[in-house]
Amino acid sequence: MFKPADSSVTLSPLIANRWSPRSFDAVAEISDGDIAAILEAGRWSPSTNNQQPWRFIVAKRGDTHFENLSKHFAGFNAAWAPTASALVLVAAVTTNDDGSARPFALYDAGLASAFMTMEANHRGIAVHPIAGYDREKVKAEYSLPDNYLQTAILVLGTQASPDQLSDPALQEREKAPRVRLPLSELVIAGLPGA
C-alpha cells in the first residue's frame, strides 16, 4: 500500500514514499546481506565529533534475539510487530569514557536510525520504529550498562495488505492518510515565500 507524502513540493521518492506500516508478511525473510547493508548505513551516518554512539541489537524472526525483544512488546505492538522479519534495537551511549555527558548522543542515534530506514526502504524493506516495549526488561536481558539509552526498535519486513491485520482498528490505522503539521507551524523564521 502506498501512502506518499502530500508535500508542497515534489520530494525524492525515497522520502515521499516512506511510511510506517504495521502489516508485514509473516513468512518473508530478510537476507543477511540486506541486514548488513542496513547496519552499514547506520554505521556511516554522521555523529557529533564522529563519536558514533549508536549500538545495535539485531534480531531475525525465529532466533533467540527476536524472541528476547518481541516478548517485551507493549500494548498493540504485540499484535503486529512479531510478524516482522527482523528487528534492530538502537541504543545511544550517552557518556564518554571519562564519564562526561554526550548531549547529542540521542540525536546521533536518531540519525543512524533514519539512515538505516532509508537503506532498508531503498531495498524494498519497510520499517516501523517502535518505542512501545519494556526497556527495563530488555536492559536486564542484555545486561545493558546504565549509559546505554535505548531509543527505539526498528521493525523491518515486507509490507503486506492491511486486511492481513487481525484487529479491525489496526486495519483502519493502516489505511488512514498520513498527516503532518503545515510548514508554517514548523518554521519559526525564514519560511520561503512567507
- Residue 32 CB, nearest approach to ligand FMN (Å): 26
Q: Are 130 and 79 in contact (CB under 8 A)?
A: no
Chain residue at closest Cβ approach to ligand FMN: 132
Q: Which residue lies nearer to ligand FMN by CB, 4 or 46?
A: 4
If the CB atoms of residues 144 and 155 are measured against ligand FMN, the closer one turns out to be 155
The residue behind cell 536510525 is 113
Query: The dihedral of CA 18, 22, 28, 32: what is its sign?
Result: positive
Note whether 85 and 30 are within 8 A (CB): yes
Give the start-end residues of each E strand in 79-192: 86-93, 126-130, 148-157
Q: Which residue lies nearer to ligand FMN by CB, 3 or 96?
A: 3
Cell of 147: 549509559
- Of the pair 20, 96, the CB lying nearest ligand FMN is at 20
* Residues at the site binding ligand FMN, with contacts judged by CB under 6 A: 19-20, 77, 129-132, 152, 178
Cβ of residue 126: shortest distance to ligand FMN, in angstroms? 10
Q: How far apart are CA 132 and CA 167, in angstroms?
A: 18
Return the closest-CA partner of residue 166 out of 16, 21, 14, 22: 22
For the CB of residue 187, give the shortest distance to ligand FMN in the complex, in Å.
19
Q: Give whichever of 2 and 98 is closer to ligand FMN, judged by the CB atom.
A: 2
Supply the minimum distance, in Å, between the C-beta of residue 98 and ligand FMN: 29
The minimum distance between CB 97 and ligand FMN, in angstroms, equals 27
